[in-house]
Amino acid sequence: MKKIYIAVLSLFALNANALERYTIANLVDKINPAVVYIKAVEDKTVKENTKANPFSKKDKQAALDNHKKQVSNGIKSKKNYNIGSGVIISKEGLVITNYHVVEIADKITVTTSDNKFYDAKIIGFDQKSDLALLKIDSKDNTHFTFAKFADSNNARIGELVFAIGNPYGLEGTVSTGIISGRNRNIGTNIYDDFLQTDASINPGNSGGPLFDLDGKIVGINTAIFSQTGGSDGIGFAIPSNTVDLIVTQLKQTGKVVRGWLGIQAQIIDESIATALKLESTNGVLVADVTANSPAKLAGIKSGDVILKYNDKQIKNLFDLPKMVAKTAINDEAKITLLRKSQQLVVNAKIISTEQGAAVEISQEDEITVKQLKVLGFYITNLTNEVKKELKITTTKGVLVTNVDKSFKRFNLVEGDIILQVDQKNVNSIQEVKHLVDNSTKPSLLLFINRKGNNIFSVIEK
């Protein structure tokens, strides 16, 4: 009986040690204060009379009817909101979250684990990576608990990780799992490079951290594959090294600049590899080269196979855009390529995607309509083709072709023709971009023609 009692005690001690070794409770207690709950509210106040021009014959009656309706019914207010998660990355209260969590926001509220509420503002965002950087407005200069970044390049498939977030509004929920895969492209854009995890991620986890067992951020939870809307064990997180790179730029300038090479590439499948007598399907095949681009100036030609970029092997079609995007502007990239069975090395001076857009626009002809993104809207020149297609009679200005959701809070809509930027006439998209980029003002006055009526609109940079 004594031996059995001792054996039970020994087994209990062994299990206690095992539990202490493998539990993450202490780690969660330490790092949980860095995780926040985010609520982003869009205030949709119905004010139809501000969207019409009561001085035009066309809109005068509609404006009067709308005024009467508002007087009798009152102005109605409707609020939409998103909820999500975030993680504090500095003692001053810088917060990382997903852009899609805050894109509609007129007001952002951040709730910490001790149930304190703070207003927050957007410092900068990047739609392509779906990241946004926020700053908590702390009246008493609170020093916040924050988390540090891990080196996601060292993250291994099978490594234990855990997520903390607010799925379905359940604050501080912890789920565990492993890194199931790396370098996943899920089709959102050419820069996709996700870590895959089976840690449970659900709506509301967006923007929250994926931690390693050192309590460091290895990724930002962003997306799931699901047939039910909830977790099916296939979640995706933006690697911490990518997040760190984006955050650094957002802190400095409020925007993200990516490198541009100027080629159209296609995947090398088995049939192409056989036709070109390649040993593998590694690399990308150059289908076209933009005139005056870094690639063209470096001597890259259609039909070349790019094998390496700065001595890093290219394994698939998505590797090259990500490598180029991370290259510092004006740096020279070493490109190893294969041309007619001969290996060559060329150097290309990388420029920004914005500079690349200007290069592409310079090649514009009457057949192809080029667009340029400025701040949160897209514009195109009023070519003869555009004017004919849209039945536009004016000969001056540039056409607004699309407006981002985040920019729709300003009085700017698709179909507007921008005539002036800060009281300076504009007749090309290059002129608009030049005036916007070189303005030191926080806001700009636009003079717009909308369906035949001229109005002014103020936008913020």
User: Is 180 a known active-site residue?
Assistant: no
Closest by CA to 163, choosing from 178, 182, 176, is 176
397-400: Cβ within 8 A, 24+ apart: 397/426, 397/427, 397/449, 398/426, 398/427, 398/428, 398/429, 398/431, 398/432
Phi/psi-derived region of residue 250, left when phi > 0, alpha when psi is between -120 and 50, beta in every other case: alpha
Gap between the Cα atoms of 119 and 39, Å rounded: 10
User: Is 311 a known active-site residue?
Assistant: no
Give the three-state DSSP class for 356. helix
**Strand extents, DSSP E, 369-450:** 372-374, 377-381, 398-403, 417-421, 424-425, 443-450
- The 3 state secondary structure assigned to 113-168 is CCCCEEEEEEEEEECCCCEEEEEEECCCCCCCCCCCECCHHHCCCCCEEEEEECHH
Catalytic residue among 59, 85, 100, 406: 100
Backbone angles phi, psi at 293, to 5 degrees: -85, 165
Burial class (CB in 10 A: 0-12, 13-18, 19+), 280: exposed
Closest by CA to 85, choosing from 220, 286, 279, 280, is 220
Catalytic residue among 129, 175, 206, 293: 206
Backbone angles phi, psi at 375, to 5 degrees: 55, -115
Gap between the Cα atoms of 140 and 146, Å rounded: 17
User: Is 240 a known active-site residue?
Assistant: no
Buried b (16+ CB within 10 A) or exposed e, 36-47: bbbbbbbeeebe
Helix, strand, coil shares of the chain as percentages rounded to 5? 25, 35, 40
Catalytic residue among 59, 130, 193, 416: 130
To which H or E segment does residue 86 belong?
Answer: strand 77-88
Contact 291, 363 (CB under 8 A): yes
Gap between the Cα atoms of 244 and 147, Å rounded: 12
Contact 220, 212 (CB under 8 A): no
The total of other beta-carbon atoms located within 10 Å of residue 201's CB is 30
Gap between the Cα atoms of 240 and 193, Å rounded: 11
What positions carry a catalytic annotation?
100, 130, 206
